[in-house]
Structure 1
Amino acid sequence: MKADTGTAGAAQADPACRERLPLAAQDGPVSMTISRVARLHRIAAGKLLKGLGLYPGQEFVMMHLWDAGPVRQSDLIKAVDLDPSTVTKMLQRLEQAGHVRRRPDPDDRRAVLVEATDASCGLLTEVRRSWGELEDHTLAGLDLGERAELARLLARVETNLCVETADCPEEARRQALRR
């Protein structure tokens, strides 16, 4: 059975811009929209990050390191919630670019500490600028009230998913239980 791809030219050219839902997604229109929005947001972020020499996801590693300071690689992997091999590859690339440094943990020589380098300070400014551009592009046409309401609703959706996947901090679980 063929899914309806919509009638608009753009909708036919890019399945992410469909006006109508595929048959299998008709019982989950919001979930389908969230999936499409997340995909498009990641593509837009990737275009901005490419200009900085970063791959999507590497900015989250750097954000954590800029905020937390030196951390064990194992703790970084937990914080960014990615596969250890993915984080290792990211760190190799970031280290080659001069943005991070890895060294043995003086308290446990089996562990590795990861930290942002002083040279990455310029990158921090550029990532912040890029995320601001992404925010402006993503929310274009929404007034301040709509932006606040969207942020509130997305926070609630995040809490729902966080509790459902049992993959969230205790505070988010408590908030969800209070509803």
Structure 2
Amino acid sequence: MKKVRLNRDISILYRYGQRFFACRLAPLGVEVGQLPVLMQVYQMPGTTQDALSVGRGFDKGTTARVAKSLEDAGLLRRETDPDDRRINHLYPTGRALSLRPQVEAVIDELHGVLYRGLSGEEIAQASALVARMRRNLADEIDRQRSSK
């Protein structure tokens, strides 16, 4: 039996998704690499850079660079925590909020393409399986960290 290696297809799917987003987001002045941080800030205004790094699996340096690029683009505002100056809280700007419906429409459009020809049950199964694989990898990474 031939080995099934889903990571290759998942990687290709990810790259195609990035290309899709790059084309659709460019007219909005949003870069594809900024999207995960922007979406998290939309969903949780006031989140900290550290919480965002943990929640999205980014290293702290990447989060700081993306936050700075969003700030420079006028899409994000950083506020230093009054009790701990090492903590930055992130908030969407008015401009970012005005773009939110368009950004979310692009995400919905991508999912419409991904799910084309799939039943609701197939979409649910695919989502559950990918989530399980993601947890498996996260657990393995945690095990590796704790064994060091």
Superposition TM-score tier, normalisation by shorter sequence = 0.7 to 0.9
* 2:135 paired residue number: 159
Alignment partner, residue 63 of structure 2: 87
Equivalent residue number for residue 133 of structure 1: 109
| Identical-residue share of aligned pairs (%) | 29
* Cα shift at 1:27: 4.0
Aligned equivalents of 1:86 and 1:110: distance in 2?
16
2:100 alignment partner, one of 121, 124, 143: 124
Q: Which moved more, 1:67-76 or 1:122-131?
A: 67-76
CA positional deviation for 1:133 = 0.3
- Aligned amino acid, residue 33 of structure 2: G
Structure 2, unaligned stretches of length 5 or more?
144-148
Does residue 42 (structure 1) correspond to residue 30 (structure 2)? The answer is no
Which aligned pairs between 1:42-61 and structure 2 lie closer than 5 A? 42-61=18-37
Contact 1:73 1:114 in 2 (8 A): yes
Per chain length, whose mean CA-contact separation is higher, i.e. which structure has more relative contact order (CA < 8 Å, sep 6+)?
A: 2
Judge conservation of contact 1:72–1:105 (CA < 8 Å) in 2: no
Q: CA deviation at 1:28?
A: 4.6
Larger radius of gyration: 1
Using the size of structure 1 for normalisation, the TM-score is: 0.68
Q: TM-score, normalised by structure 2?
A: 0.80
**Is 1:68 the counterpart of 2:44 in the alignment?**
yes
SS of residue in 1 equivalent to 2:142:
coil
Is the aligned partner of 1:31 residue 2:7? yes
Deviation at 1:88, TM superposition (A): 2.3
Which structure has greater helix proportion? 2
Q: Does 1:111 align with 2:81?
A: no
Summarize deviations over 1:78-122 as a string: whole Å, max 9, x none: 333223332222222211222111122111133322211233212
CA RMSD between the two structures: 2.2
Aligned length: 142
